Amino acid sequence: MGNQIGKANLEVFAETLLQEAKLNNNIVAVTSDSRGSGKLVPFGEQLPYQLIEVGIAEQNLVGVCAGLSAVGKKVFGVSPSSFLTARSLEQIKNDIAYSNQPVVLVGISAGISYGKLGATHHSIHDFAVLRAINNISIVSPADNFETSEVIKKSLDYDKPLFIRYGKKPTLNLHKEGQKFEIGKAIVVNQGDEIVFIATGETVQRAYLASQILKKDGLNATVISMHTIKPFDKETFLEAVSNAKVLISIEEHSIYGGLGEMCASIISQEKININFKILGIPDEYMINGSQSEVLDHYDMAPHKISNLAKALISK
C-alpha cells in the first residue's frame, strides 16, 4: 500500500458497508439525519429498505438498533460520535452493552474532526465514557485499511462494538498482507528504544514523527492501538519492555483514554520508562481545524519527535 494519502476513513466505511450490505440484506443501517454526514446517501439510494432513518433523535436511534438486533438484524447505528456517545450514553449502556446486543455503533466525525464547529461537536470523551461501560468493545481505525477491515470483521463480531473515525484523508500505513483483528494491535514500525503508541488518526502523526527521527538515526516503534478495548496488553508490553521512552498520542482527552490505559499498565507492571501522554488537556479548548488543534496540543509530528529526543536524553 505504501505511504500514500488515502481517502477519508468516513468514505471507506460507507463504501465497505454498502458493498457488504449488497451481499447481505440482513444488514441494516440506522441514521439520525446523518446519512449525508455519514456518506450513506448512496446506501440509502441503492438499498432503501436497508436504511432506517429516525431523524435527529440519537437516544431513539440506539434503542431502535437494539430492537432490530434482537430480532436478528445486523445493525450499524451511524451518528456523529459527539451526540451518539453523550446524549444516548444510557441507551448504549443499557440497551446495547448490558443487553448484549451485537450492534455496531459507528461514531462518525469523532474526536475534533468537526474542528471549527466547536466543542458541542467534539467527542474527546468517547473512549473514556465507553471504557467505563461493561461489555462494549471500542475500535478507532487509523487508516483506510483498518477501517475497511474493522467493518468486515464487525459483521461476525458477536458483542457490542463501537467504532469511531474522522473525516479527513489519512495516510496509508500498512504493508501488503497485513492482518487485522479486533483486539490485536498492529506494529506499524518495529524500532527499539522509543515507542509511539497511537490510535485513530493520530497514528499517522506518530508515523511521521518516526520518519523524522530516522534522519537522526533513531528507530522508533510505532503501534497502531486501533482497539482501545479490549486492550492488547501483550503487544504493548512486548514493545515497552526494552524501551526507554513511551509517548502515547490520541485525539481525545488526556483523561480516560489510550494514555491513561498505558499508564495503568506501566504502573501496575512496574515498568520503568520515560512516559508522556499527548492528547487534549482539561481546558477551554482552542478553536481551529482538526489539524491546527492537534498541532497546537503538541501532536504535530515534529513536536512529537522533539519530545522523544528530549525524553531519550533524560
| CB of 69 vs another protein, minimal distance in Å | 7
Cell numbers placing 208: 511521521
Which CB sits closer to another protein, 35 or 73?
73
Cell numbers placing 107: 461514531
| CB of 77 vs another protein, minimal distance in Å | 10
| CB of 67 vs another protein, minimal distance in Å | 2
Residues β-bridged to residue 246: 195, 275
| CB of 89 vs another protein, minimal distance in Å | 11
| CB of 292 vs another protein, minimal distance in Å | 36
Q: Where do contacts with another protein occur on this chain (CB under 8 A)? A: 28, 49, 52, 54-55, 57, 59-60, 62-73, 90-91, 94-95, 98-100
Which CB sits closer to another protein, 94 or 178?
94
- Residue 79 near residue 34, CB atoms below 8 Å: yes
Element containing residue 56 per DSSP (H, E): none
Which ranges of 100-202 would DSSP assign to H, the alpha helix? 126-131, 144-154
Which CB sits closer to another protein, 97 or 213?
97
Q: How far apart are CA 29 and CA 120, in angstroms?
A: 25
Question: Helices 203-215 & 301-312, crossing angle to 10 degrees?
Answer: 60
Which CB sits closer to another protein, 72 or 177?
72
Determine the 3-state secondary structure of 54 from DSSP.
coil
| CB of 271 vs another protein, minimal distance in Å | 37
Q: How far apart are CA 220 and CA 192, in angstroms?
A: 6
Which CB sits closer to another protein, 97 or 206?
97
The residues near 245 (Cβ < 8 Å, ≥ 6 apart) are: 193, 194, 195, 273, 274, 275, 308, 311, 312
Which CB sits closer to another protein, 58 or 232?
58
HSE-CB at 5 with a 13 A cutoff on CA atoms is 4
